[in-house]
Amino acid sequence: MTLRFDLLAPELTLMAFILAVFCQTLFSRSQPRAGVWMPYAAFVTCLAAASSLGAEGLEFYGAYRIDALSQFFKFAIAVGLFIASVLTSRNPELAERHESDYYLLLSLSAWGLMLLASSVELVTLVVALEISSFSLYALVPLRAERPEAAEAGVKYMLFGAAATGVSLYGLAYLWMARGSTYLDVLMSRPAELASSPLGILGVTLFLAAFLYKLALFPFHFWAPDVYQGAGNETAGVVATLPKLGAVVVLVRLAALGPHGATDAGSVSLLLAALSAASMTMGNLMALAQRDVKRILGFSSTAHAGYVVLGLVAGTAEGLAAASFYALVYLVLNLACFWVVSRYSGDGRNLTLDDLSGMYARAPLLAFTLGVGAFGLVGLPPTAGFTGKLFLLTSAWGHGYDWLVIVAALNTAISAFYYLNLVRYAYTGEPSSCPPSVAPGVAPAAIGALLAATVLLLGMIPAPVYEYAAAAGKALLP
Amino acid sequence: MTQFGYPVLTSLIVFPVVASIALAALRDPRVTRMGAMVAACVEVLLAIPLLAGFDAAAPGYQFREYVSWVPQWGLAYSLGIDGISLIMILLTVGLLPLTVLCSWQYISQRVTAFHVCLLLMAAACIGVFAALDFVLFYVFWEAMLVPMYLLIAVWGGPDRRYASIKFFLYTLAGSTLLLVAMVAFYKAGGTFSIPELSAQTYSFRFQFWVFLAMSLAFAIKVPMFPFHTWLPAAHVEAPAAGSVVLAAVLLKMGTYGFLRFCLPMAPQASTYFAPYMIALALASILYGGYVALGQSDIKKLIAYSSVGHMGFAMLGIFLLNMHGLEGALLVMLNHGITTGALFMMIGFIYERSHSREMADNQGLGKYLPAYMGFWGLFALSSLGFPGLNSFVGEAATLFGAFEYSTLIGMLAIPGAMLAAAYMLRLSLRMAWGQPSSVPGAVDDHHGHDGHEAHEAPHGAHGHPWSDLGSREWTCLVPLAFLALWLGIFPAIAFKVIDPPLERLLTEFRARQAAPAAMAQSDGRAAQ
């Protein structure tokens, strides 16, 4: 069997850059600055990922599938890495000597996620997951002399390790039930897997690590704490990239079993219940928060619930909608975190009161925050609306109508705290102790670009959605 | 495309958006105001082809535009208008320059952003009335929330924070269920196209639930008792232009929704729920009027009167007969003109006295004769005085009500009487009450009521009351003309709205019978 390198273009491109930045950590830690050249490298990775969007193939003894789904997510991960690299290029709380380490860990994590997107064998999945996770564990405490960052790092790692442990336990059960760790073997007779208690137990336990990554209830407790403790830029990374990896694996696993509420006791019913709890819990908890990053943390829990909406339906459209929403969520959240990190100036956490008067001090950032927040509510014409519309439409009529109604009502609950962000930014008068510096032209322009992306994805979703739809069809023809 | 060779409706929606982006680059308030005014006038010119090319007698939707939007989900950018949407769009477009003009002095802070919001608002409203795709309708429906929220939250009165959040959450909560109904319709009918969805028949059970979901969204927007509580708050706090748009256009979206969605798509459920809706409409009429009677804040009074008037519109719709529907639509149009003008005039008086309290704006007849003349005209119109515009709509609704049942008609009559009571009381005090300020004599409090603890709101910081300026005349004359014209020659409005309403009613009645027959045959099959 020969390896077809052209299929692995995004992974190999990124790997080359990772090796380069690794060499830099060894020899020349500060010159040239990794923050200067890494965004370009990430952009090249984006191009590589975009060029391989249509690729298909099976590599590494059937453990590594390159299909529409994996390529869509690799592209999304590359885009996320690019924005995250730009975001990190000015991180006030990162010592210069740590910069190349930071980028090494960041890109290694993204690389692990790319592997995750293509893994179709359980052990490979776990290995890819660990590559991405361990890099992030090390990333979180990299915040200048802050004990709370260390606390966040420890919390993130302990939770993560426990969840992975549970997952491995589930893997063992699955292997016991079917004698294989290949997804296509597990999938070949789904009815049997779903009807054997061992199989259901195995799948459920195996999901734990990914639900943890997604911050779905009841695996969400780390999210607000870690977001708050980690630096603004790091929180932006932790909030977005790993979610993509979790969604891609969940989409693959969701294609495993039979679906619909008729199948009592199925994993999808469990997911539906978790989804409803996640939305409601996340939104209700977010109502009481004052720290912007904590708000975004609980909001991510709520959004994890929305994504799962697409999975429980178990149709090609549902999987496509979930994939599309994951991309939308990535851009929306990065837009919000962009504003938080650039407006904060010296890297401290922002509370709602700090946002007061943003419209006067940084009008474009205020606009970006507005678009991001209304996008997270799901208001048109942002991408948040189109994504949510696809999700709700795909889930209706498959026995989970109640979940659709819960999701719709949750939109109304969530409106309050997202509106709060906009209210402070647009109607609050500048407070007496404003964040130190007014951001310059470049951050505002990039923020406006992110906002424009959100609006464009909302108004013209068809070209991008096409790839998500292809991904859904590839799994469930 | 249309006979004009370019997409007329799209130009009406896109132009304000483009203009607002261009405006956003401006900094000087005076330039911005001029720019917004020019943009608003161009928008009016862009609407002329609608008037010229609209064929009132032609069946179906006109000025159709269709572009596939998201083919995977069958979403389309599909526009088109009939007589119902035409008058609502004309109202929206026509009020745009007037709202810009009436904010000329009222808005002094963040002028650019204000006009950007006004223009975006207009674009979204036109989109709502022109959309023929459910999702597109929803997009515009929701998109309108953000500029309106900002209009209240940024340029509103002292309690703007509460009012704006209440407005936003109330309307959003309603529309989330509309979203669910929309999704359910897609799964049941296989399309998002409004004409196609209206042509299909659904089971009664389905109609029952979607009717409830949709009516909640629309009833909040109307607003119908008991979902009206956001309206007085929003109206009182909103700046004058915001109140005008809110009263004249926004509330109409609710009634428009009932006409465009509930009646054609859920005909049986509409019949089933009609008595309840009529009861709520009557409650709105009586409650709105009664509460208006007790207000001392002029703006709040007009806001509650809106609840009453929109109650008439709702009553007309659910009488489910021709007179009722005609009346409802005319009330929608005339309420837009009359109440829009009244809110504008409250803005004018607020610029002078800096108070909305009746007690601070009394006895103006002597000092502001032209102002009180216009006020009298619009107040009479508001209470449904024969010969003025609102009379036609209310009379038609009452005809419909008596046609439906004498009891309902009798119950609605006190509503009309209450309107006379509160409007006359208000106008009386404003025109001939004990003057609340003597021009130039601010220091002399002459102790009326002694409750004026706050800074004397008398005649703009001691300046004498000044009567209407040319800018204000320009705002009011077109509306006064319309009020008289539509009062004396209502036939022109009937000509436009009758064909679509007749079609609506014929189809409604036809589909009332058809599914019943189907249900019978089902029953027979079951036996």
pLDDT digits (tens, 9 = 90+) for A276-306: 999 999 999 998 888 898 999 999 999 999 9
Q: Which of A396, A416, A465 sits opposite B70 (nearest CB)?
A: A465
Pairing of strands A64-66, A57-59: antiparallel
Q: Which residue has the higher pLDDT, A261 or A333?
A: A333
Q: Please, what is the end-to-end C-alpha distance for chain B in angstroms? A: 52
**Alpha-carbon gap, residue B311 to B170, rounded angstroms:** 19
Interface residues of A toward B, Cβ cutoff 8 Å, are 320, 359, 370, 374, 377, 379-381, 385-386, 389-390, 392-393, 396-397, 401, 404-405, 408-409, 411-412, 415-416, 419, 423, 426-427, 461-462, 465-466, 469
The C-alpha angle B423, B427, B430, rounded to 5 degrees, equals 145
Closest-CA distance of chain B to residue A415, Å: 7
Closest-CA distance of chain A to residue B174, Å: 8
Q: Please, what is the end-to-end C-alpha distance for chain A in angstroms? A: 28
Q: Is A58 helix (H, G, I), strand (E, B) or coil?
A: strand
Quickly count: other Cβ atoms within 10 Å of residue A173's Cβ: 20
B344: Cβ contacts below 8 Å, ≥ 6 apart = B98, B102, B240, B244, B475, B476, B479
Chain B residue closest in CA terms to A457? B70
* Bond preceding residue B223 cis, omega within 30 of 0: yes
Size of interface A-B (CB pairs under 8 A): 86
- B180 CB neighbours in chain A (<8 A) are 392, 396, 404-405, 408
Q: Is B231 helix (H, G, I), strand (E, B) or coil?
A: helix
**Alpha-carbon gap, residue B334 to B510, rounded angstroms:** 30
Q: Which residue has the higher pLDDT, A244 or A475?
A: A244
Q: Which residue has the higher pLDDT, A54 or B449?
A: A54
Q: Which residues on adjacent β-strands are paired with residue B75? A: B70
Is residue B77 within a helix (H) or strand (E), and if so which, with residue range? strand B75-81
**Alpha-carbon gap, residue A35 to A123, rounded angstroms:** 34
The mean pLDDT value of chain A amounts to 85
Mean pLDDT on A194-203: 78
A352: Cβ contacts below 8 Å, ≥ 6 apart = A290, A292, A420, A421, A424
Interface residues of B toward A, Cβ cutoff 8 Å, are 69-73, 110, 113, 135, 138-140, 142-143, 145-146, 149-150, 153-154, 160-161, 164-165, 168-169, 172-173, 176-177, 179-180, 183-184, 186-187
pLDDT in the model for residue A425: 87
Residue B68 tokens read as 């596939």
pLDDT in the model for residue B106: 82
Do A461 and A324 contact (CB within 8 A), yes or no? yes
Length of chain A in residues, anyone? Answer: 477
Q: What is the pLDDT of residues A346-396, one digit of tens each?
A: 778 888 888 888 888 888 888 999 999 999 998 888 999 999 999 999 888
Q: Is the dihedral of CA B224, B230, B233, B235 positive or negative?
A: negative
pLDDT in the model for residue B521: 41
Mean pLDDT on A112-136: 91
pTM of the model: 0.90
Do B397 and B327 contact (CB within 8 A), yes or no? yes
**Alpha-carbon gap, residue A42 to A29, rounded angstroms:** 19
Quickly count: other Cβ atoms within 10 Å of residue B144's Cβ: 23
pLDDT in the model for residue B42: 92
* Bond preceding residue A380 cis, omega within 30 of 0: no
Dihedral pair phi/psi, residue A121, rounded to 5°: -135, 135
pLDDT of A477 above 90: no
* Bond preceding residue A32 cis, omega within 30 of 0: yes
The C-alpha angle B258, B263, B265, rounded to 5 degrees, equals 110
Q: What is the pLDDT of residues A329-344, one digit of tens each?
A: 999 999 999 998 888 8
Which of the residues B183, B202, B205, B230 would you substitute to probe the A interface, choosing the one with the greatest number of A C-beta atoms within 10 Å? B183
pLDDT in the model for residue B440: 44
Is residue A216 within a helix (H) or strand (E), and if so which, with residue range? none
Residue spans of alpha helices (H) in A28-146: 34-51, 68-88, 99-118, 122-139
Q: Is the dihedral of CA B261, B266, B271, B276 positive or negative?
A: negative
Do B206 and B265 contact (CB within 8 A), yes or no? no
* Bond preceding residue A218 cis, omega within 30 of 0: yes
pLDDT-wise least confident of A22-36, A124-138, B15-29, B493-507: A22-36
Length of chain B in residues, anyone? Answer: 527
For B201, left (φ over 0), alpha (ψ -120 to 50), or beta?
beta
Residue B74 tokens read as 């069958």
Do B13 and B96 contact (CB within 8 A), yes or no? no
Do A319 and A472 contact (CB within 8 A), yes or no? yes
Do A324 and A465 contact (CB within 8 A), yes or no? yes
A273: Cβ contacts below 8 Å, ≥ 6 apart = none
Structure confidence at residue A314 as a pLDDT band (50, 70, 90) = confident
Chain A residue closest in CA terms to B176? A408
Residue-by-residue DSSP string for A243-268: HHHHHHHHHHHHTTS--STTSTT-HH
Average pLDDT, 10 consecutive residues per value, chain B (527 residues) = 76 92 87 90 90 84 88 87 90 92 84 90 93 92 91 87 90 90 89 88 90 92 89 90 90 92 91 92 92 90 91 92 91 92 90 84 83 91 88 90 90 88 89 67 42 43 70 89 90 87 87 57 39
Closest-CA distance of chain A to residue B253, Å: 17
pLDDT in the model for residue B277: 93
pLDDT > 70 fraction of chain A, expressed in percent and rounded? 93
Which residue, chain included where needed, has tokens 């889930």?
A395
pLDDT in the model for residue A30: 67
pLDDT in the model for residue B457: 46
Do B223 and B215 contact (CB within 8 A), yes or no? no
pLDDT in the model for residue A1: 56
- Report ipTM (2 d.p.): 0.88
pLDDT in the model for residue A432: 56
